[in-house]
Amino acid sequence: MTKTSDPSSGASPDCIEIEFGSDDYPELLGQLADPPRRLYVRGDPAVLHLPALAIVGSRNPTAGGQRNAREFARHLGRWGFCIVSGLAQGIDSEAHRGALDAGAPTVAFVGHGLDRIYPAANLELARAIEQNGALVSEFPAGTPPRKSHFPQRNRLISGLSLGTLVIEAARQSGSLITARLSGEQGREVFALPGSIHNPLSRGCHRLIRDGAKLVESADDILSELGALAGHVRASLEEPDAAVEPLRSDDQEYVKLRSTLSHDPISVDELVERSGLTIDQVSSMLLILELDGVVEKLSGGRYSLQP
Same-domain status, 49 and 125: yes
Residue 46 forms part of a structural domain: yes
For residue 267, the enclosing domain spans 244-304
Distance CA 290, CA 27 (A): 8
- According to the model, what pLDDT value does residue 233 have? 60
Residue 236 forms part of a structural domain: no
Residue 128 forms part of a structural domain: yes
Q: Domain boundary at 223, 253, 270, which? A: 223
Residue 214 forms part of a structural domain: yes
Distance CA 57, CA 66 (A): 10
Helix (H, G, I), strand (E, B) or coil at 147: coil
Same-domain status, 266 and 190: no
Query: Backbone dihedral region of 235: left (phi > 0), alpha (psi from -120 to 50 degrees) or beta?
Result: alpha
- According to the model, what pLDDT value does residue 243 have? 35
Instruction: Report the number of distinct structural domains present in the chain.
Output: 2
Same-domain status, 49 and 160: yes
Same-domain status, 184 and 122: yes
Distance CA 164, CA 155 (A): 11
Same-domain status, 205 and 249: no
Q: What is the CATH number of the domain that holds 85?
A: 3.40.50.450
130: nearest Cα among 144, 110, 151, 150: 110
Distance CA 73, CA 81 (A): 9
- According to the model, what pLDDT value does residue 235 have? 54
Distance CA 295, CA 60 (A): 41
Residue 272 forms part of a structural domain: yes
Residue 52 forms part of a structural domain: yes
Same-domain status, 10 and 124: yes
Helix (H, G, I), strand (E, B) or coil at 302: strand
Residue 185 forms part of a structural domain: yes
Which DSSP string do the residues of 156-225 spell out, in sequence order?
A: HHHHTSSEEEEES--TT-HHHHHHHHHHHTT-EEEEE---TT-GGGHHHHHHHHTTPEE-SSHHHHHHHH
Per-residue pLDDT of the chain (306 residues; tens, 9 = 90+): 666 554 443 334 579 999 999 999 999 999 999 999 999 999 999 999 999 999 999 999 999 999 999 999 999 998 889 999 999 999 999 999 999 999 999 999 999 999 999 999 999 999 999 999 999 999 999 999 998 999 899 999 999 999 999 999 998 888 999 999 999 999 999 999 998 889 999 999 999 999 999 998 888 898 888 777 665 566 555 443 333 333 334 677 778 888 888 889 998 899 888 888 887 787 777 667 756 688 888 777 888 877
CB atoms within 10 A of CB 142: 11
Same-domain status, 167 and 24: yes
155: nearest Cα among 181, 188, 176: 181
Same-domain status, 84 and 28: yes
Residue 228 forms part of a structural domain: no
Same-domain status, 219 and 257: no
Same-domain status, 83 and 200: yes
Same-domain status, 102 and 6: yes
The conformation of residue 263, written as its DSSP 8-state character, comes to S
Q: Which amino acid is it at 23?
A: D
Distance CA 306, CA 300 (A): 18
Distance CA 200, CA 112 (A): 27
The conformation of residue 24, written as its DSSP 8-state character, comes to T
Same-domain status, 191 and 253: no
Q: What is the CATH number of the domain that holds 292?
A: 1.10.10.10
Distance CA 75, CA 73 (A): 6
